[in-house]
Amino acid sequence: MEGDTANSLAREVLQLHVSAEKDSDIPGADQREPCTRQINLDNGKDVQDISTAFRCAASVLDTGQLVKDPYFTLFEAVGALEIMDPKMDSGYLKDSETLGDKFDILKELLPEEVVGLMDQLLCHEMAWHMGHPLSQSLFTSYHIDRLLWPEPKKLDEARFDRQAPVTGNGMLHVVFRAYCLALVKCCDHVHRRIGAEHYYEEEDFVSNLYNRNLLSDFDGAQVEMLLHDAIHFTEQQSKLDEAWRRAIVVRLTLRQRILKAMELDLNLVKANGVQLWRDCGDLLPEIRQTQTLGTPVKEAFSVKIQRKLASSVPPRPMVEIKFEDAHAFLNNLCRDAADVYHVLEYHGCSNLLTFTYMFQSRKPQPAIYIRCLLQSLLFHDMRVLGKITITTLIYDDLAELVLPADVLLDPANGNVEAPHDPRFQLAKKMSGFVLRVGDPFLDIFRAICMNRSRARRMLCHLVLEWESVQLEAEKLDAELRQYTGEKPLMDGGPTGTEIWSFPLSSWAYYYKLRQMEWIVQLGFELGIYQNDELSAMYWHLGHLAGAKIQHIERIQTFVTRRFRQPKRWSAKDRYSFQQCFSFLKVMLTEASATQWFAIALSKLYTALSPFTLLPSRPQRLPYSTSELRHALRMRPFMQLSIPEVPSYSELAAATSTTSGVEPSEGASSTEGQALSILEIADEASKVGRKEWEALSKFGAQAARCVNCEDWWRKSVKDVIRACIICSIAIATAKKGAMKAQGKPVRKMLEAEMPADGKSYHDFWAVQRCPYNTYN
């Protein structure tokens, strides 16, 4: 009976009909209005309003009950929603509504209107760079639409008047037309550059052109000539006020320089666009000052143009951003475009990685166009930076980290042709190793070039690939020993275990640890962790840094041992060892600084948690438990063999207020334990600060931050500031806890979490604990 009732109800709902007999069974149906009513239209057609009928039928359904016809497909459902729905059907016209607005595109423009339109188009262009579709930005312009549709076969056909060339009205047909054509051509260069690299549709950039061609068939030099003529025409207008003339010329000049710079960016010729981008940045202050001279022409833009575009999405509102925001975005774009070319100055693989990482961590993060340009510069014409092979890049990195002046990296091995010669076998096996690790190694750079959320997600997948690389490299290390004649290092213990260097595996393990660190640190930057998880996640970060310290010390031991061999090293070999020792020292200092500061913050949050000073945690039960959240945070590392992922019980014990801490004498149990933990946090914070200060004293060559030294030093100084605030917070918490004996702790301490992006460094969410005097 229940099945028959459901089938009958389904048929009634799908047929959009409810009988009067069915209404009598519904409680309160006699007080309802009739389920259906007819509406007579002037054209003689009868339309039945089924809104009430639908509500009547839906009222007998249980919550969560689904009525579905297996033959009513998703296509039919979406089609039913689109037709005659203003929110879904772009072709639907209301009463007395026209298909387009009554805007005279050929009307003569005043100088202030030209300035205003140029600024409006600039705002829409920057909105597109920010990730909004063209249908909601540039393609809402009637002027842009007239130039692009119908598609011009020759550049002369791209005019506002498609019937015949019009003389006069130079501000429109000479000046503004040239600006619009140059803007469209710039968009074409951006579209082609981004489309050639790795990016994420709708997340970073919307590439849909809606069946429009961005003048891709025309040479940019032709458009530059039109801009040149427009500048000359404007300068010859003696009757035009000097302020307006200068405002128009500076905008045309800016567009001309941007167009030239993007053409160089697209072709990646040796004469890069650094100076052009700097010149663009120099013009922006004047454009900002003259923005008030323009008069916006709002009627020149309309969302109704979306009806003419080939789109599968419903109509969307126009995106309008403030001129100040567009100006700031363009200023950052010009600055980043000029700075990104410093990556071409090669100073070693580790320096290249530091530059890429520091460049992408700038605030605000570079635009998608700049990130794709960086990808193109990194990997161009099957070469790194257009001039270095992937073998050279990996060999440089191996020499800098684990194999300075080693026979495995001797380029002369490739010249040996006798198969029985050990050098031939070394060259063969190392060639296979480079072929195996080439893509995973370059993928690290590609991941860093993504937006921050996507970078973390890609690293979570990539670290699993490096687990396989490490295991394969370990087997290869064992095979290479018969050709290198390596002697093991004997363990000083009673067992006398042999310890081998495993250089290739050590190299892979080092990069796996770096990626694990980045994953956790990006979690803090992106605000993934809740306030009550900060103690555990900083403990885990310190755990990873500790594993990294042990590994670097192990590498350092074997490199030192080989350097002290009774062998006469050449000056070149000694320089190679010097570079390796320098790099290992910097990495060891950085790992130690990270470990101590992470311990300090973990202990601080652990001490504060019993007093409920942190913002209250959300009610997660029964959907989540502490064990499930631990499994979620450790999921990216669960399939890794080493370092071992800490279990929930281990992590909970390490962040507990009773984990081997004796309460201070004369204090209550909770307050005493908190004071003892704060003492540990205070000591760790001081040591961490000293380590970060020691790191800041390294030179650019040693720190591998040539061409990005300013960014690197600013990052280190921000961490030092965070260390200082952490020490102040710990001292304040200790003073408040000691004075709160028998008094409400909440009145003694007030904890305030820094807002997103407001902390001194994105990786270090330092708790501020101002001390309040008890009344």
The answer as to whether 480 is a domain residue is yes
**Tens of pLDDT, residues 395-446:** 999 999 999 999 999 999 989 888 899 999 999 999 999 999 999 999 999 9
**Per-residue confidence (pLDDT) for residue 511, from 0 to 100:** 97
Query: pLDDT over 90 for what percent of the chain?
Result: 64
DSSP 3-state helix, strand, coil percentages of the chain (rounded to 5)? 60, 5, 35
Q: Closest Cα to residue 116, out of 265, 292, 286, 234?
A: 292
DSSP code for 172 = I
**For residues 202 and 425, what is the distance between their CA atoms, to the nearest angstrom?**
49
Q: Closest Cα to residue 50, out of 61, 66, 34?
A: 34
Give the count of beta carbons closer than 10 Å to the beta carbon of residue 323: 18
Same domain, yes or no: 292 and 433: no
Dihedral sign computed on CA atoms, order 269, 272, 276, 277: positive
**Per-residue confidence (pLDDT) for residue 566, from 0 to 100:** 82
The answer as to whether 392 is a domain residue is no
Written as one letter, the residue type at 47 is V
- Determine the 3-state secondary structure of 18 from DSSP: coil
Same domain, yes or no: 483 and 561: no
Dihedral sign computed on CA atoms, order 707, 709, 714, 720: positive
Q: Which residue, of 55, 72, 89, is where some domain finishes?
A: 72
DSSP code for 410 = -
**Per-residue confidence (pLDDT) for residue 234, from 0 to 100:** 96
E-assigned strands of 317-463?
Answer: 379-380, 383-384
pLDDT at 277 > cutoff 70: yes
**Per-residue confidence (pLDDT) for residue 548, from 0 to 100:** 97
**Per-residue confidence (pLDDT) for residue 80, from 0 to 100:** 65
**Tens of pLDDT, residues 466-505:** 999 999 999 999 999 999 988 888 876 666 788 999 999 9
**Tens of pLDDT, residues 696-741:** 999 999 999 999 999 999 999 999 999 999 998 888 888 876 665 5
- Determine the 3-state secondary structure of 261 from DSSP: helix
pLDDT at 748 > cutoff 90: no
The answer as to whether 417 is a domain residue is yes
The answer as to whether 568 is a domain residue is yes
DSSP code for 48 = E
Please report which confidence band the pLDDT of residue 178 belongs to, taking 50, 70 and 90 as the band edges.
very high
Same domain, yes or no: 616 and 509: no
Is 545 within 8 Å of 594 (Cβ atoms)?
yes
Average pLDDT over residues 290-310: 93
Same domain, yes or no: 522 and 547: no
- Separation of first and last alpha carbons in the chain: 72
**Per-residue confidence (pLDDT) for residue 753, from 0 to 100:** 56
**Tens of pLDDT, residues 229-267:** 999 999 999 889 999 999 999 999 999 999 999 999 988
**Per-residue confidence (pLDDT) for residue 544, from 0 to 100:** 97
Same domain, yes or no: 42 and 140: no
**Tens of pLDDT, residues 310-367:** 887 878 899 999 999 999 999 999 999 999 999 999 999 999 999 999 999 999 999 9
**For residues 118 and 143, what is the distance between their CA atoms, to the nearest angstrom?**
11
Please report which confidence band the pLDDT of residue 742 belongs to, taking 50, 70 and 90 as the band edges.
low
The answer as to whether 123 is a domain residue is yes
**Tens of pLDDT, residues 86-126:** 777 767 777 777 777 788 999 999 999 999 999 999 999 99
Same domain, yes or no: 594 and 685: yes
**Tens of pLDDT, residues 184-195:** 999 999 999 999
Give φ, ψ of 318 to 5 degrees.
Answer: -70, 140
**Per-residue confidence (pLDDT) for residue 22, from 0 to 100:** 40
Name the residue range of residue 142's domain.
Answer: 111-322
pLDDT at 772 > cutoff 70: no
Alpha helices in 530-570 (DSSP H): 534-563
591 CA to centre of own chain: 24
Degrees to nearest 5, angle at CA 689 with 688 and 690: 90
The answer as to whether 58 is a domain residue is yes
Is 346 within 8 Å of 385 (Cβ atoms)?
yes
Burial of residue 274, with CB atoms counted within 10 A of its CB: 0-12 exposed, 13-18 middle, 19 or more buried: middle
Alpha helices in 365-497 (DSSP H): 368-378, 390-401, 422-448, 452-484
246 contacts: CB under 8 Å, gap ≥ 6: 286, 290
Please report which confidence band the pLDDT of residue 151 belongs to, taking 50, 70 and 90 as the band edges.
very high
**For residues 473 and 502, what is the distance between their CA atoms, to the nearest angstrom?**
8
Same domain, yes or no: 598 and 485: no
Same domain, yes or no: 546 and 520: no
* Count of domains forming the chain: 4
Q: Closest Cα to residue 166, out of 234, 106, 231, 104?
A: 106
The answer as to whether 494 is a domain residue is yes
Token digits for 262? 């993007």
**Per-residue confidence (pLDDT) for residue 16, from 0 to 100:** 39
The answer as to whether 366 is a domain residue is no
**Per-residue confidence (pLDDT) for residue 82, from 0 to 100:** 63
Token digits for 525? 């930057």
- The whole-chain average pLDDT of the chain stands at 86
**For residues 345 and 665, what is the distance between their CA atoms, to the nearest angstrom?**
60
**Tens of pLDDT, residues 53-65:** 888 888 888 877 7
Pick the residue with more confidence: 269 or 664? 269
Query: pLDDT over 70 for what percent of the chain?
Result: 84
**Per-residue confidence (pLDDT) for residue 72, from 0 to 100:** 78
pLDDT at 9 > cutoff 90: no
Rg (CA), the chain: 34
**Tens of pLDDT, residues 64-79:** 777 778 787 877 776 6
386 contacts: CB under 8 Å, gap ≥ 6: 268, 344, 377, 380
**Per-residue confidence (pLDDT) for residue 326, from 0 to 100:** 97
550 contacts: CB under 8 Å, gap ≥ 6: none
**Per-residue confidence (pLDDT) for residue 272, from 0 to 100:** 80
**Tens of pLDDT, residues 543-566:** 999 999 999 999 999 999 999 988
Pick the residue with more confidence: 640 or 772? 640
pTM here?
0.86
Same domain, yes or no: 234 and 157: yes
Q: Which residue, of 301, 322, 343, is where some domain finishes?
A: 322
Please report which confidence band the pLDDT of residue 5 belongs to, taking 50, 70 and 90 as the band edges.
very low
Same domain, yes or no: 510 and 577: no
**Per-residue confidence (pLDDT) for residue 31, from 0 to 100:** 44
**For residues 733 and 736, what is the distance between their CA atoms, to the nearest angstrom?**
5
Same domain, yes or no: 523 and 545: no
- Determine the 3-state secondary structure of 94 from DSSP: coil
Same domain, yes or no: 504 and 556: no
